[in-house]
Structure 1
């Protein structure tokens, strides 16, 4: 398989400097199609900055980013979203006083190019209900379609966020700390959900919970001080003494 076919997202020499501080240092990332790929590393390793570069919230100082073989280094955030690169918080459920169904319907409006046309007739919007309910069912929220988001648990809010992301028909989903702040039950729920929605698409995720990473991820890239420390499957990276030192502060 050619690189273009095998890899959905690649970076070459990706670098971001802030007034002399190098936050991302010559990162060469190769994300294989239809895999779940994790970026991990201690606090300050540069994971979120890499995500911000990939989704064009930041422009790189140097380097190149390609998606499906196309150079997107200079593309705008909205442009790459239209290509199918969707970061979860870009279209998260930001309307706490709306129901779960209404939140997904807003995301579907964006996909249809009728963003935020709240003045459209109820009949027009109701045409989106069937697809909205399919998406809610896909993330296990079918019983919560009419529940106001503010009244939902944190784990269910994150599941709804994934549903609104799926409404944009992503080819590549970027999930930033999807289980952050969750108890064990919600972590298990979201882990199962990520595995389910990964079918037929690619997921790149930043995640601190190594239990989640070990369960879900095909490939793991470990960052330290903005640079790639090592890469491989969980067994490979977890056995690397440099990874243990980076996390624990001493060699194991």
Structure 2
């Protein structure tokens, strides 16, 4: 009997008051792969991420992790199972140092975030691991730098380090190179490649050059549904994919699915 896919969706659907943002999506993520989810603006990519991590509740369908149905679980339980995500915007504490940001993530992972009776010195035992994580993303020399003083690319690297502090089995990266110049993009590509060793990565990414360098498999979404899937050579040669990308406005504006998602989240 073959091992089940590490992460799988079956007929996943998300509707917002009659609007179908995610339509019958079937994903099969193989263990150890870097798998990209791509598509034009409004294709539903971030909505799928939010469904996988239970920031949104599916209207219908199933989410399976190592063959087990995790659809009923809440976000915290999903994270404890080892499915950890980053976000499109940098999600670090701007007025803490880089090391302190990592230490907060480690405290959360160890379950000591609310141990207010403990001395602050008790946190120093985490510093060695903090430095290992900072070194892994090239930030060791910035350990005592306040995060707000870091360049944008380094903030994203710090966010990756805080995500790795949770020791994920599956790393979900939502547009890790968004808003970066070419030098920072190249750095993040190498960081993702390093972070992927020994784990599975699912990433949303607009930069097709990044996708071509990193990804084993690619799923293309269009209007909330799977358009095609395969390796980069197969997907990039598909005339439907070319038509979808040529027809997108490329303006960076969020499409209808994300607008509906935001409206739902605000309620």
Shift of 1:122: 2.6
Q: Could you tell me how far apart the structure 1 residues matched to 2:44 and 2:221 are?
A: 7
Residues 186-243 of structure 1 show CA distances to partners (whole Å, capped at 9, x for unaligned) of 0000011000110000000000000000000000000000000000000000000000
Label 1:3 to 1:210 Cα distance change in 2 as closer, same or farther (>3 A).
same
Map 1:50-129; keep pairs closer than 5 Å: 50-89=48-87, 93-115=91-113, 117=115, 120-129=118-127
More contact order relative to length (CA 8 Å, sep ≥ 6): 2
Is 92-101 or 218-227 further displaced after alignment? 92-101
Correspondence for 2:2 = 2
Out of 208, 211, 236, which is 1:213 matched to?
A: 211
Shift of 1:247: 0.3
Correspondence for 2:239 = 241
Gaps of 5+ in 2: 249-267
Correspondence for 2:256 = none
Is 227-236 or 93-102 further displaced after alignment? 93-102
Shift of 1:119: 5.9
Correspondence for 2:222 = 224
Checking the alignment, whether the CA contact within 8 Å between 2:13 and 2:58 is kept in structure 1 is yes
SS at match of 1:200: coil
Which runs of structure 1 show a deviation greater than 6 angstroms over 4 or more consecutive aligned residues? none
Correspondence for 1:12 = 10
Checking the alignment, whether the CA contact within 8 Å between 2:35 and 2:203 is kept in structure 1 is yes
Label 1:118 to 1:95 Cα distance change in 2 as closer, same or farther (>3 A).
farther
Checking the alignment, whether the CA contact within 8 Å between 1:23 and 1:226 is kept in structure 2 is yes
Correspondence for 1:44 = 42
Q: Could you tell me how far apart the structure 1 residues matched to 2:41 and 2:242 are?
A: 14
Q: Could you tell me how far apart the structure 2 residues matched to 1:95 and 1:116 are?
A: 18
Q: Could you tell me how far apart the structure 2 residues matched to 1:183 and 1:60 are?
A: 35
Checking the alignment, whether the CA contact within 8 Å between 1:93 and 1:164 is kept in structure 2 is no
Out of 178, 184, 187, which is 2:185 matched to?
A: 187
Label 1:224 to 1:93 Cα distance change in 2 as closer, same or farther (>3 A).
closer
Correspondence for 1:33 = 31
Q: Could you tell me how far apart the structure 2 residues matched to 1:116 and 1:203 are?
A: 30
Q: Could you tell me how far apart the structure 1 residues matched to 2:156 and 2:170 are?
A: 18
Shift of 1:94: 2.6
Aligned-CA RMSD value: 1.5
SS at match of 1:51: helix
Gaps of 5+ in 1: none
